[in-house]
């Protein structure tokens, strides 16, 4: 039982093993409680280091509803700073991104360095002789950490380290995405699709690791693929070898390792990609960097398709951030990820693949968004307020690494997310 | 004899009407072979092989897209957007074999009871063909290219 806004919310009753109550999506008190407990304490994804490659670079981001600046100082260190002048509260950064020598609050001229230190105040003598400028440095989240370029922050000074929030098996998935680069690095600086929908942020998180919907929601895209390849697309069928996997701590994925490595054409695909000079160079460079076994493993697995709770999605060619606004509104930032140190053609191919599905004009993401809007409309019906997540509950297994998995169209991944959500929401927070 | 301006205007109005009426297969017939259709994202100009666009495609990619839109299972267009485009501020440079045209557009769109406006400026490179034109190049730059966007699957 938890108190929120003077009200009791029994999260145990709202999240059952096989169903979730609609209030978890549309109740504003629950949303406010999420901002406190999930976004106000736990690890939240900020951005990728490569978004700010040079000294002086910055981008605006959010932790929950709080605006922050993700900046890189002259020594090359990155920072997460609240976008709020410590004097009278004005936001100090007006552009979504840029390159600056520091941040000047244009209200009264206070000037902050890229690391947030207050450097200059106009007419400082007005504050007396014992004025300590360091008292008014830009505020920052108490904790910050990164894994392979993905930077996270937490508004709580205590709590589990990032490497526990992102479990070993979850980190392994991120590794699959990064190790497609011979230098082991993703580069996230090729623009963004920015889209908004009517509905709760968790609708996008649930959908990102949903292996049940593609054959239906994306019928038109699948038809296009089938027309182009001349064969039936079977990766999302009820008997496919893909797996829905709960990685722990609310992280989950659609796991294609088995499906792709046992695919009858797996070896042929490796040969085919070496059919061009740039494909051959990419293959050779990857083998030189990671060894033949690992290189072929990552090429066959081909990235990942995962969620990092609560607001990051890592796909084969894309990094996606989910930005809650209210129970009625969510913003999503989709950014193509390129591979460092590969022939240009490899990255251009990633961009073209991204565009085919993931833009507001493209062939896929807005069919998902359409479904979020439809769920949001359906949630107004309260005669049966439950959303059913029981698919595959009877056939889940625990893997050697402790993760729980089931067939690819099952809802194991979503159940993992919701189990973690419930455990976080049941915590008492002042 | 109609002037070049009249011919260009008639062509742009026809293109707008075909898009307004979801007649995508007929719209596709306006394109030359080869052709390029580009809707930039975030910025007006960049190397499209290094930066993602809302759409960047040759004839094959455009063709696949209009087939997808025409088959009836593209749910982001189910129901379809009702639209009317206004095309204006037309500037023409007559290059003979290639006519460069810039034009502003306003799209009034209603889908599922919500009315939206989408505006921008298009750059066309047109090739004269059979008394009219074929589109060799169309680059439509939305005013909202770097903003939060909603469903634009009806094409711009």
CB pair distance less than 8 Å for B54 and A360: yes
Sort out which chain A residues have CB atoms less than 8 A from B48's CB and list them: 351
Size of interface A-B (CB pairs under 8 A): 111
Identify the CA nearest to B74 among candidates A298, A362, A30, A126: A362
Structural domain range at position A391: 10-27+167-425
- Predicted pLDDT of residue A231: 85
Residue at a domain's end among A147, A177, A193: A147
Sort out which chain A residues have CB atoms less than 8 A from B53's CB and list them: 191, 355, 359
* Domain match, A108 and A174 both: no
pLDDT surpasses 90 at A335: yes
* Domain match, A125 and A215 both: no
- Predicted pLDDT of residue A1: 54
* Domain match, A263 and A121 both: no
Phi, psi values for residue A196, rounded to 5°: -125, 145
Q: How far apart are CA A260 and CA A241, in angstroms?
A: 8
Cα A240-A307-A339 angle, rounded to 5 deg: 90
Identify the CA nearest to A215 among candidates A195, A187, A190, A236: A236
- SS3 assignment, position A177: helix
pLDDT surpasses 90 at A191: yes
Q: Which long-range contacts (CB under 8 A, 24 or more apart) does B65-70 make?
A: B65/A363, B65/B155, B66/B24, B66/B25, B66/B27, B66/B28, B67/A224, B67/A227, B67/B25, B68/A220, B68/A221, B68/A223, B68/A224, B68/A363, B69/A220, B69/B22, B69/B24, B69/B153, B69/B154, B69/B155, B70/B24, B70/B25
How close A364 gets to chain B, by Cα (Å)? 9
| DSSP secondary structure code for residue A430 in this structure | -
| Mean pLDDT of the region A188-193 | 97
Rounded to an integer, what is the distance from CA B136 to the centroid of its chain?
A: 12
CB pair distance less than 8 Å for A221 and B50: no
pLDDT surpasses 70 at A15: yes
* Domain match, A243 and A343 both: yes
State both tokens at A152. 């996270």
Rounded to an integer, what is the distance from CA A42 to the centroid of its chain?
A: 14
- Considering the domain boundaries, does residue A334 fall inside one? yes
| Mean pLDDT of the region A4-10 | 80
- Predicted pLDDT of residue A5: 64
Contact A56, A99 (CB under 8 A): yes
State both tokens at B110. 């209603």
Residue at a domain's end among A117, A147, A177: A147
Identify the CA nearest to A283 among candidates A269, A267, A299, A268: A299
* Domain match, A396 and A272 both: yes
Identify the CA nearest to B75 among candidates B48, B40, B111: B111
Q: Which residues contact A258 (CB under 8 A, 6 or more apart)?
A: A241, A242, A243
- Considering the domain boundaries, does residue B148 fall inside one? no
CB pair distance less than 8 Å for B67 and A367: no
Identify which of A344, A361, A371 has the shortest CB distance to residue B54: A361
Q: How far apart are CA A57 and CA A250, in angstroms?
A: 32
- SS3 assignment, position A290: helix
- Predicted pLDDT of residue A428: 83
A229 pLDDT band, cuts 50/70/90, is confident
| Mean pLDDT of the region A359-377 | 95
- Predicted pLDDT of residue A105: 98
- Considering the domain boundaries, does residue A159 fall inside one? no
pLDDT digits (tens, 9 = 90+) for A127-162: 999 999 999 999 999 999 999 999 999 999 999 999
Identify the CA nearest to A116 among candidates A136, A100, A87: A136
- Percentage of chain A lying above the pLDDT 90 cut: 91
Contact A300, A269 (CB under 8 A): yes
Q: How many domains in chain B?
A: 1
| DSSP secondary structure code for residue A212 in this structure | S
Q: How far apart are CA A331 and CA A334, in angstroms?
A: 10
- Predicted pLDDT of residue A316: 85
Q: How many domains in chain A?
A: 2
Residue at a domain's end among A81, A113, A147: A147
* Domain match, A268 and A366 both: yes
Q: How far apart are CA B118 and CA B141, in angstroms?
A: 11
pLDDT surpasses 60 at B7: yes
Helix (DSSP H) and strand (DSSP E) numbers for chain B: 3, 6
* Domain match, A62 and A17 both: no
Interface of B to A at Cβ within 8 Å reads 39, 41-43, 46, 48-57, 61, 64-65, 67-69, 71-76, 78, 112, 146-153, 155-156
Q: How far apart are CA A204 and CA A211, in angstroms?
A: 13
Q: What share of chain B is helix, strand, coil (3-state, %, to 5)?
A: 25, 45, 35
CA distances from A316 to A298, A354, A430 (A): 11, 10, 40
CATH code, domain carrying B72: 3.10.450.50
- Predicted pLDDT of residue A418: 98
- Considering the domain boundaries, does residue A430 fall inside one? no
Query: What ipTM did this prediction achieve?
Result: 0.96
* Domain match, A353 and A381 both: yes
- SS3 assignment, position A35: helix
- SS3 assignment, position A319: strand
A281 pLDDT band, cuts 50/70/90, is very high
CATH code, domain carrying A114: 2.102.10.10
Identify which of B43, B46, B152 has the shortest CB distance to residue A361: B152
| Mean pLDDT of the region B8-25 | 97
pLDDT digits (tens, 9 = 90+) for A245-275: 999 999 999 999 999 999 888 899 999 999 9
- Considering the domain boundaries, does residue B152 fall inside one? no
CB pair distance less than 8 Å for A190 and B74: no
| Mean pLDDT of the region B136-144 | 98
Helices (H), B21-124: 24-28, 59-70
pLDDT surpasses 90 at A232: no
- Predicted pLDDT of residue A220: 92
How close A278 gets to chain B, by Cα (Å)? 15
- Considering the domain boundaries, does residue B113 fall inside one? yes
Identify which of B42, B51, B74 has the shortest CB distance to residue A220: B74
Q: Which residues contact A145 (CB under 8 A, 6 or more apart)?
A: A43, A151, A152, A161, A162, A163
What is the length of chain A? 430
CB pair distance less than 8 Å for A195 and B76: no
- Predicted pLDDT of residue A92: 97
Q: What is the pTM of this model?
A: 0.96
Residues forming beta bridges with residue B106, ordered by sequence position = B86, B119
Helix A412-425 and helix A28-37, axial crossing angle in degrees, nearest 10: 80
- Considering the domain boundaries, does residue A121 fall inside one? yes
CATH code, domain carrying A18: 3.90.380.10
Identify the CA nearest to A173 among candidates A255, A249, A290: A255
Interface of A to B at Cβ within 8 Å reads 96, 190-197, 217, 219-221, 223-224, 227-228, 331, 336, 344, 347-348, 351-352, 354-356, 359-363, 366-367, 369-371, 373
| Mean pLDDT of the region B46-60 | 98
* Domain match, A270 and A345 both: yes
* Domain match, A134 and A185 both: no
- Predicted pLDDT of residue A294: 98
CA distances from A190 to A48, A187, A337, B49 (A): 12, 8, 7, 9
- Predicted pLDDT of residue A6: 74
CB pair distance less than 8 Å for A196 and B52: no
What is the length of chain B? 156
Mean pLDDT of chain A: 96
CB pair distance less than 8 Å for B150 and A193: no
Sort out which chain B residues have CB atoms less than 8 A from A197's CB and list them: 150
pLDDT digits (tens, 9 = 90+) for A33-85: 999 999 999 999 999 999 999 999 999 999 999 999 999 999 999 999 999 99
* Domain match, A243 and A133 both: no
A36 burial level (CB within 10 Å; 0-12, 13-18, 19+): middle
Structural domain range at position B36: 4-142
What residue in A sits closest to B146 (Cα-Cα)? A194
Identify which of B41, B48, B72 has the shortest CB distance to residue A193: B41
Contact B96, B68 (CB under 8 A): no
pLDDT surpasses 80 at A123: yes
Contact B129, B11 (CB under 8 A): no
pLDDT surpasses 90 at A198: yes
A345 Ramachandran zone, left/alpha/beta (phi>0; psi -120 to 50):
alpha
CA distances from A234 to A211, A263, A365, A425, B73 (A): 12, 11, 20, 38, 18
Phi, psi values for residue A193, rounded to 5°: -95, 130
A429 pLDDT band, cuts 50/70/90, is confident
- Considering the domain boundaries, does residue B149 fall inside one? no
């Amino acid at each position: 039982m938890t108190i929120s806004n003077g009200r009791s919310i029994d999260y145990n009753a709202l999240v059952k093993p096989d169903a979730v109550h609609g209030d978890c999506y549309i109740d504003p008190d629950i949303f406010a409680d999420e901002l406190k407990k999930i976004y106000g304490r736990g690890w939240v994804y900020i951005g990728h280091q490569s978004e700010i490659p040079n000294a002086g670079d910055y981008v605006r981001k959010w932790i929950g509803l709080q605006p922050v600046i993700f900046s890189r100082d002259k020594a090359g260190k990155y920072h997460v700073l609240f976008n709020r002048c410590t004097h009278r509260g004005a936001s100090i950064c007006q552009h979504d991104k840029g390159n600056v020598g520091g941040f000047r609050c244009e209200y009264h001229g206070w000037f902050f360095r890229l690391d947030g230190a207050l450097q200059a105040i106009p007419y400082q003598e007005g504050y007396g002789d014992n004025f300590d400028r360091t008292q008014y440095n830009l505020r920052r989240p108490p904790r910050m950490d990164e894994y392979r370029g993905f930077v996270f922050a937490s508004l709580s000074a205590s709590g589990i380290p990032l490497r526990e929030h992102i479990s070993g098996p979850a980190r392994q998935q991120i590794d699959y995405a990064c190790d497609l680069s011979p230098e082991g690095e993703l580069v996230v600086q090729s623009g963004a699709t920015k889209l908004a929908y009517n509905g709760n942020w968790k609708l996008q998180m649930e959908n990102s690791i949903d292996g049940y919907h593609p054959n239906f929601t994306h019928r038109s895209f699948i038809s296009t693929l089938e027309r182009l390849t001349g064969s039936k697309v079977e990766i999302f069928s009820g008997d496919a070898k893909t797996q829905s996997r709960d990685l722990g701590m609310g992280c989950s994925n659609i796991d294609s390792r088995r499906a792709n490595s046992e695919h009858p054409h797996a070896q042929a695909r490796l040969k085919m990609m070496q059919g061009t000079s740039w494909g051959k160079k990419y293959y050779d460079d990857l083998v030189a960097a990671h060894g033949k076994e690992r290189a072929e493993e990552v090429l066959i697995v081909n990235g990942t398709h995962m969620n990092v709770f609560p607001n990051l999605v890592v796909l084969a060619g894309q990094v996606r951030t989910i930005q809650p606004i209210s129970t009625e509104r969510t913003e999503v930032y989709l950014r193509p990820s390129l591979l460092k140190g590969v022939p240009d053609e490899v990255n251009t191919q990633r961009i073209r693949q991204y565009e085919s599905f993931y833009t507001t004009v493209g062939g896929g993401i807005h069919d998902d968004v359409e479904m979020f809007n439809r769920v949001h409309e359906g949630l107004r019906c309260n005669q049966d307020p439950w959303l059913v997540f029981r698919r595959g509950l009877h056939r889940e297994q625990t893997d050697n690494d402790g993760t729980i998995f089931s067939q690819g169209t099952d809802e194991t991944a979503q159940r993992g997310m919701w189990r973690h959500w419930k455990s976080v929401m049941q915590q008492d927070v002042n | 004899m109609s002037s070049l301006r009249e011919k260009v205007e008639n062509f742009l109005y026809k293109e707008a009407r075909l898009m307004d009426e979801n007649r995508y297969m007929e719209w596709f017939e306006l394109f030359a072979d080869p052709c390029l259709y580009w809707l930039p994202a975030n910025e007006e100009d960049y190397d499209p092989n290094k930066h993602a666009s809302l759409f960047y495609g040759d004839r094959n990619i455009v063709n696949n897209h209009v087939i997808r839109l025409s088959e009836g299972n593209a749910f982001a267009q189910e129901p379809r957007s009702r639209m009317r485009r206004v095309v204006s501020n037309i500037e023409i440079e007559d290059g003979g074999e290639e006519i460069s045209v810039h034009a502003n557009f306003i799209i009034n769109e209603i889908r599922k009871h919500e009315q939206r406006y989408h505006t921008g400026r298009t750059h066309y490179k047109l090739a004269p063909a059979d008394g009219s034109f074929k589109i060799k190049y169309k680059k439509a730059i939305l005013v909202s290219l770097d903003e939060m966007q909603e469903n634009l699957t009806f094409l711009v």
